[in-house]
Chain A
């Protein structure tokens, strides 16, 4: 029959219930360790060893172990009776106890156990530490227990070498030792370690039984090349009152002119520079670890003692190094430095991380700022270069440049402005300065700036100013208005120049022009008058001839009419504003009226003139007027014969291509067979000559019973 699964599981559970309590009792039951110290509870050496033992237990799987501590106080009392008394006390105290491991520290405790261990704790393994004298180890066969532990060789030699490394001049070393059993044991070690320095270093020691005052006196006499090594664990004052361990090194160090070193870390932070040191804490931790090993391995006596040797470590006090000017570089490699001013990271890691992050951000920001600064520097350099360029351009200008507020406060003037008005370009900044405007120009200048305030971007004005010496100068200013954010004008920027010479030249030209105008006017007036004189003379001659030969008189009056026509042109020119041309329509009206009015039948003739927007120049006005004179004279003489009324029309059309003059009448037309081209009439031949030669034009004649019309084309004036 095969077993069922549930019955197998139940069997396993029962077995576990039987086994587990036994296993728990075996591995975690009631192990006990008794730690026996050679000294008192207040002794810092002890406290460090205890802390080390407790730390080792805490770090192991035997955290439940009971640790009992006994103090032999052999620094206070150390004789056979004391040990006997202690034995009696322990025998009574631990009568029923069964410790698993005994830990002893220092030589006295080990000696005590060697003497009484078999009786107090038979076969209980012993772990020793801090033993200076190897002869104190139990001899084989003297007891039944298993012994293991750590010997401590005072690392004086290493410390001396280190002192010489720091100060090669060192030739005296004062070693402070007490006269206890331990002190004496250590002295033996020192003597062995210092044999090699006989020629270079003198080792001095306090006299036997010297109290602390005697030692201070010794220290005061030490040379500058000396060093002190403190090793002792027990000193008294003059009253033989024991010094507290904490006070010994501090007081001696304070009294010492030379550095105080130590081979034990227990003096650290108490006035000792440092040294190659044995740490009581490390001794305690090693002892605890060894005790746990004993609990686990349960070694038997026959395996013999397992002995370890403590190793020193280079430890220094930063404060004392500073006191004696010892550089960190002079210390052995790998040295530990205590009391160094804590750096930030050590003080608070969280804050340090935060600060590091902030520092990184700040670093990035600084980097960005540097990059930006570089860019800004380049930009600034470019701006400076451009500023120099523009400034040199502005300041080399011969034109005056200024910028000023509306109240006249100067913001900037260029050197040309300063030179002109006798101002210091730098000193005048911020001062008010106004140009004295000539009284006659003040209203204009006021209107000029009013226009700028009203929104004109810039205005140009030519004005007169009065200088300090009273002289009047002409200026031309190009003023720009500069507005603030609210649109109101706040400043003006002006560029100006002295134009007095130009103005004077202009005035001369104007005066000259005026003079010539007057002269030209006078010329026309004189020509007209002369022609009037000629005309008058001809009229007088005609009047004279009329009595004897009317035909001659008539011919003279025809000539007179031609003279008057020419005079009419000069009359118009004399009266016109422009001497270059005359208005055709008004001239034709006046001319035609004068011509017609000389005839007896003038009243029956109507005159129509149309020459809108036509002007004619002097060189064409004379031939045109003479043509009109001839054609109107002919019309008045022949066209209206037998008619009671008639019309004479003068039209002129002007465009850019040609000028057309039409002179017509509604008279009887040319008589049959009359050919104008072949006639010997002086007047008609003169008309043809004027058209051909002086007008460079052409003409066409239409004639019939309804009248005659002359159409004349000639090129327009090119002036």
Chain B
């Protein structure tokens, strides 16, 4: 694995299968290395711990007892990896909690492809 590939690695956390699949297809097509596509918070934590991707694309609302914010909190315990939260709608309270883990950005669903690519690229390159 060369350095470029490593820099463009991304982990996807999405509990909706089709959307997860679309994101993986899209990002792969755009040249990203999708190191993991998981549907739970625990798997997200494991993904970061195991794969150390450049950036994490994480849905806040997960069909799990650990949501995206809680998973990000766990990740923050051992990593400063940029995290982009995906959410259909973020109320003020949720956003306030999410900001506690210093996310790189919030992207709202439905995902605008161009904005997603731009945000991911900027997140990785800093």
Do chains A and B interact in one complex? yes
In the complex, the answer to whether A598 meets B89 with C-beta atoms within 8 Å is no
Which residue of chain B has the shortest Cβ distance to A537 in the bound complex?
B18
A246 to B60, CA, bound (A): 143
In the complex, the answer to whether B16 meets A571 with C-beta atoms within 8 Å is no
A335 to B16, CA, bound (A): 139
Please report which residues of chain B, range 14-61, place their CB below 8 angstroms from some CB of chain A when the two chains form the complex: 16-19, 21-22, 25-26, 29
In the complex, the answer to whether B112 meets A597 with C-beta atoms within 8 Å is yes
CB contact between B89 and one of A543, A564, A574 (< 8 Å): that residue: A574
Which residue of chain B has the shortest Cβ distance to A597 in the bound complex?
B112
A539 to B112, CA, bound (A): 11
Which residue of chain A has the shortest Cβ distance to B14 in the bound complex?
A536
Residues of A near B22 (CB, < 8 A) are 536-537, 539-540
Which residue of chain A has the shortest Cβ distance to B15 in the bound complex?
A529
Q: Does B88 reach chain A (CB closer than 8 Å)?
A: yes
Q: Does A444 reach chain B (CB closer than 8 Å)?
A: no
A45 to B109, CA, bound (A): 152
Least distance between B81 CB and chain A CB atoms (Å): 25
Given the interface pairs A564-B110, A597-B114, the reply to whether A528 lies near B19 with Cβ below 8 Å is: no
In the complex, the answer to whether A533 meets B19 with C-beta atoms within 8 Å is yes
Of the four ranges (under 10, 10 to 19, 20 to 34, 35 or more), the interface on chain B belongs to 10 to 19
Chain A contact surface mostly: helix
Which residue of chain A has the shortest Cβ distance to B22 in the bound complex?
A536
CB contact between B109 and one of A532, A597, A598 (< 8 Å): that residue: A532
In the complex, the answer to whether B110 meets A535 with C-beta atoms within 8 Å is yes
Least distance between A548 CB and chain B CB atoms (Å): 14
In the complex, the answer to whether B109 meets A543 with C-beta atoms within 8 Å is no
In the complex, the answer to whether B19 meets A536 with C-beta atoms within 8 Å is yes
Given the interface pairs A571-B88, A597-B112, the reply to whether A529 lies near B21 with Cβ below 8 Å is: no
In the complex, the answer to whether A529 meets B16 with C-beta atoms within 8 Å is yes
Which residue of chain B has the shortest Cβ distance to A598 in the bound complex?
B112
Q: Does A594 reach chain B (CB closer than 8 Å)?
A: yes
Q: Does B1 reach chain A (CB closer than 8 Å)?
A: no
In the complex, the answer to whether A594 meets B112 with C-beta atoms within 8 Å is yes
CB contact between A575 and one of B17, B29, B89 (< 8 Å): that residue: B89
Chain B contact surface mostly: helix
Least distance between B108 CB and chain A CB atoms (Å): 9
In the complex, the answer to whether A532 meets B25 with C-beta atoms within 8 Å is no
In the complex, the answer to whether A536 meets B21 with C-beta atoms within 8 Å is yes
Please report which residues of chain A, range 555-589, place their CB below 8 angstroms from some CB of chain B when the two chains form the complex: 564, 567-568, 571, 574-575
Residues of B near A597 (CB, < 8 A) are 112, 114-115
A604 to B61, CA, bound (A): 34
In the complex, the answer to whether B16 meets A540 with C-beta atoms within 8 Å is no
Residues of A near B110 (CB, < 8 A) are 532, 535, 564, 567-568, 594
A537 to B110, CA, bound (A): 13
A535 to B109, CA, bound (A): 11
Given the interface pairs A574-B89, A597-B112, A597-B114, the reply to whether A533 lies near B29 with Cβ below 8 Å is: no
Scoring B25, B109, B113, B114 by chain A CB atoms within 10 A of each residue's CB, the highest score goes to B109
Please report which residues of chain B, range 106-126, place their CB below 8 angstroms from some CB of chain A when the two chains form the complex: 109-110, 112-115
Residues of A near B115 (CB, < 8 A) are 597
Least distance between A590 CB and chain B CB atoms (Å): 9
Residues of B near A540 (CB, < 8 A) are 18, 21-22, 25
Least distance between A47 CB and chain B CB atoms (Å): 135
Which residue of chain A has the shortest Cβ distance to B26 in the bound complex?
A543
Which residue of chain A has the shortest Cβ distance to B89 in the bound complex?
A575
A536 to B17, CA, bound (A): 10
A513 to B113, CA, bound (A): 39
Residues of A near B29 (CB, < 8 A) are 543
Given the interface pairs A543-B26, A574-B89, the reply to whether A533 lies near B18 with Cβ below 8 Å is: yes
Least distance between B63 CB and chain A CB atoms (Å): 10
Residues of B near A567 (CB, < 8 A) are 110
Please report which residues of chain B, range 66-121, place their CB below 8 angstroms from some CB of chain A when the two chains form the complex: 88-89, 109-110, 112-115
A536 to B20, CA, bound (A): 9
Residues of B near A594 (CB, < 8 A) are 110, 112
Which residue of chain A has the shortest Cβ distance to B115 in the bound complex?
A597
Which residue of chain A has the shortest Cβ distance to B24 in the bound complex?
A540
A540 to B26, CA, bound (A): 8
In the complex, the answer to whether B19 meets A532 with C-beta atoms within 8 Å is yes
- Give per-residue flags for A104-134: 1 if the beta carbon is below 8 A from chain B beta carbons, else 0: 0000000000000000000000000000000
In the complex, the answer to whether A533 meets B88 with C-beta atoms within 8 Å is no
Please report which residues of chain A, range 499-544, place their CB below 8 angstroms from some CB of chain B when the two chains form the complex: 525, 528-529, 532-533, 535-537, 539-540, 543
Residues of A near B18 (CB, < 8 A) are 532-533, 536-537, 540
Residues of B near A533 (CB, < 8 A) are 16-19
Least distance between B18 CB and chain A CB atoms (Å): 4
Least distance between B87 CB and chain A CB atoms (Å): 11
Least distance between A712 CB and chain B CB atoms (Å): 25
A567 to B25, CA, bound (A): 22
Residues of B near A532 (CB, < 8 A) are 16, 18-19, 88, 109-110
Which residue of chain B has the shortest Cβ distance to A529 in the bound complex?
B16
A80 to B88, CA, bound (A): 171
Least distance between B89 CB and chain A CB atoms (Å): 5
A712 to B82, CA, bound (A): 47
Residues of B near A571 (CB, < 8 A) are 88-89
Least distance between A598 CB and chain B CB atoms (Å): 7
Residues of B near A525 (CB, < 8 A) are 88
Least distance between B35 CB and chain A CB atoms (Å): 20
Scoring A529, A536, A543, A571 by chain B CB atoms within 10 A of each residue's CB, the highest score goes to A536
A339 to B22, CA, bound (A): 143
Least distance between A539 CB and chain B CB atoms (Å): 6
In the complex, the answer to whether A528 meets B112 with C-beta atoms within 8 Å is no
Please report which residues of chain A, range 590-605, place their CB below 8 angstroms from some CB of chain B when the two chains form the complex: 594, 597-598
Residues of A near B89 (CB, < 8 A) are 571, 574-575
Q: Jot down 13 A-B pairs with beta carbons below 8 A, ordered by A.
A: A525-B88, A528-B88, A529-B16, A532-B110, A536-B19, A536-B21, A539-B113, A540-B18, A540-B21, A543-B26, A568-B110, A597-B112, A597-B115
Instruction: Give me the 4 closest cross-chain CB pairs, A-B, nearest first.
Output: A536-B22, A533-B18, A536-B18, A597-B112
List 8 additional contacts besides A537-B22, A594-B112; criterion CB under 8 Å: A529-B88, A532-B18, A532-B19, A532-B110, A575-B89, A594-B110, A597-B112, A598-B112
